[in-house]
Structure 1
Amino acid sequence: MSHDSLPTTPLSLATSDALFTRAKNHIPGGVNSPVRAFRAVGGHPVFMQSAKGAWLTDVDGNRYLDFINSWGPMILGHAPEIVLEAVRGAIGNSLSFGAPTQREVEMAELIKQMVPSIEKVRLVNSGTEATMSAIRVARGYTGRNKIIKFEGCYHGHGDSFLIAAGSGALTLGAPDSPGVTQGVAQDTLTVPYNDLPAVERTIAANDGQVAALILEPVVGNMGLVAPAEGYLQGLRDLCTQHGIVLIFDEVMTGFRLARGGAQELYGITPDMTTLGKIIGGGMPVGAYGGRQDIMDNVAPAGKVYQAGTLSGNPIATAAGIAQLTYLQQHPELYDQLNRTTTRIADGTRQICRELGLNYTVNQVGSMFSVFFTDQPVTDLESAKTSNTEAFGRYFQAMLHRGIYLAPAQYEALFVSTAMTDDLVALYLTACRESMREAHGL
Structure 2
Amino acid sequence: MNGGNPNTDKSQRLLKLAEEVTPGGVHSPVRAFGAVGGCPRFIERGEGPYLFDVDGNKYLDFCCSWGPLILGHADSDVVAAVKEQVDRGMTFGASTELEYKLAQFIVSRIEVVDKIRFVSSGTEAVMSAIRLARGFTKRDLILKFEGCYHGHSDHLLVKAGSGLVTFGQTASAGVPDDITKNTVVLPLDDEEALQKFFAEYGDKLAAVIIEGVPANNGLLIQRHDYMRLLRTLTEQHGVVLILDEVITGFRIGFGGATEYYGIRPDLVTYGKIIGGGMPVGAFGGRADIMDHVAPLGAVYQAGTLSGNPVAMTAGLATLEKLAADNIYAEMENRNRRFVSEITTRLASSSVNIAGVASIFWILFQRDIPRSAAAIDSDGIAHYNRMHTRMLNAGIYLPPSGYEVCFLSTVHTDEVLNEAAETIARIIGEEAHQWA
**What TM-score do you get using the length of structure 1 for normalisation?**
0.96
Q: Which of the residues 294, 312, 318 maps onto 2:307?
A: 312
- Structure 1 residues 201-223: Cα deviation after superposition (integer angstroms, max 9, x where no partner): 22223242110000012111111
**Corresponding letter in the other structure for 1:369:** W
Give the Cα–Cα distance (whole angstroms) in 1 for the partners of residues 196 and 71 of structure 2: 43
Give the Cα–Cα distance (whole angstroms) in 2 for the partners of residues 78 and 184 of structure 1: 39
Residues 31-430 of structure 1: pairs in structure 2 closer than 5 A: 31-331=26-326, 333-353=327-347, 356-430=348-422
Q: Which of the residues 425, 428, 433 maps onto 2:425?
A: 433
* Aligned-pair Cα RMSD in Å: 1.2
- Structure 1 residues 118-167: Cα deviation after superposition (integer angstroms, max 9, x where no partner): 10100000000000000000000000001000000000000111001132
C-alpha contact 2:275 2:315 (8 A) present in aligned 1: yes
Give the Cα–Cα distance (whole angstroms) in 1 for the partners of residues 243 and 427 of structure 2: 35
Aligned to 1:3: none
**Corresponding letter in the other structure for 1:343:** R
C-alpha contact 2:343 2:424 (8 A) present in aligned 1: no
- Give 1:361 shift: 1.4
Name the SS for the 2:242 alignment partner: strand
Give the Cα–Cα distance (whole angstroms) in 1 for the partners of residues 174 and 421 of structure 2: 45
Q: Which stretch of the first structure deviates more once superposed, 270-279 or 226-235?
A: 226-235
- Give 1:10 shift: 2.4
Give the Cα–Cα distance (whole angstroms) in 2 for the partners of residues 433 and 416 of structure 1: 23
C-alpha contact 1:271 1:291 (8 A) present in aligned 2: yes
C-alpha contact 1:170 1:201 (8 A) present in aligned 2: no
- Give 1:339 shift: 1.1
- Structure 1 residues 264-321: Cα deviation after superposition (integer angstroms, max 9, x where no partner): 1221111000000001100000000010000000000100000001000000000100
- Give 1:171 shift: 3.3
Give the Cα–Cα distance (whole angstroms) in 2 for the partners of residues 431 and 281 of structure 1: 28
C-alpha contact 2:6 2:392 (8 A) present in aligned 1: yes
- In the alignment, structure 1 segments of 5+ residues that lack a partner are 1-5
**Corresponding letter in the other structure for 2:261:** Y
Name the SS for the 1:393 alignment partner: helix
**Corresponding letter in the other structure for 2:388:** Q
Give the Cα–Cα distance (whole angstroms) in 1 for the partners of residues 369 and 430 of structure 2: 21
Give the Cα–Cα distance (whole angstroms) in 2 for the partners of residues 306 and 378 of structure 1: 34
- Give 1:440 shift: 5.6
**Corresponding letter in the other structure for 1:326:** K
C-alpha contact 1:149 1:189 (8 A) present in aligned 2: yes
Give the Cα–Cα distance (whole angstroms) in 2 for the partners of residues 379 and 344 of structure 1: 25
C-alpha contact 1:74 1:282 (8 A) present in aligned 2: yes
C-alpha contact 1:397 1:437 (8 A) present in aligned 2: no
Q: Which stretch of the first structure deviates more once superposed, 373-382 or 294-303?
A: 373-382
Name the SS for the 1:166 alignment partner: coil
Name the SS for the 2:167 alignment partner: coil
C-alpha contact 1:375 1:385 (8 A) present in aligned 2: no
Give the Cα–Cα distance (whole angstroms) in 1 for the partners of residues 428 and 248 of structure 2: 32
Give the Cα–Cα distance (whole angstroms) in 2 for the partners of residues 359 and 46 of structure 1: 27
C-alpha contact 1:170 1:205 (8 A) present in aligned 2: no
C-alpha contact 1:250 1:261 (8 A) present in aligned 2: yes
C-alpha contact 2:350 2:431 (8 A) present in aligned 1: no
Give the Cα–Cα distance (whole angstroms) in 2 for the partners of residues 159 and 317 of structure 1: 28
Give the Cα–Cα distance (whole angstroms) in 2 for the partners of residues 224 and 207 of structure 1: 28
- Structure 1 residues 76-101: Cα deviation after superposition (integer angstroms, max 9, x where no partner): 11111110111011001111100000
- Give 1:352 shift: 2.4
- Give 1:48 shift: 0.4
**Corresponding letter in the other structure for 2:122:** G
Give the Cα–Cα distance (whole angstroms) in 1 for the partners of residues 111 and 239 of structure 2: 20
Identity %: 44
C-alpha contact 2:145 2:188 (8 A) present in aligned 1: yes
**Corresponding letter in the other structure for 1:116:** E
**Corresponding letter in the other structure for 2:350:** N
Give the Cα–Cα distance (whole angstroms) in 2 for the partners of residues 275 and 349 of structure 1: 32
Name the SS for the 1:257 alignment partner: coil
C-alpha contact 1:373 1:385 (8 A) present in aligned 2: no
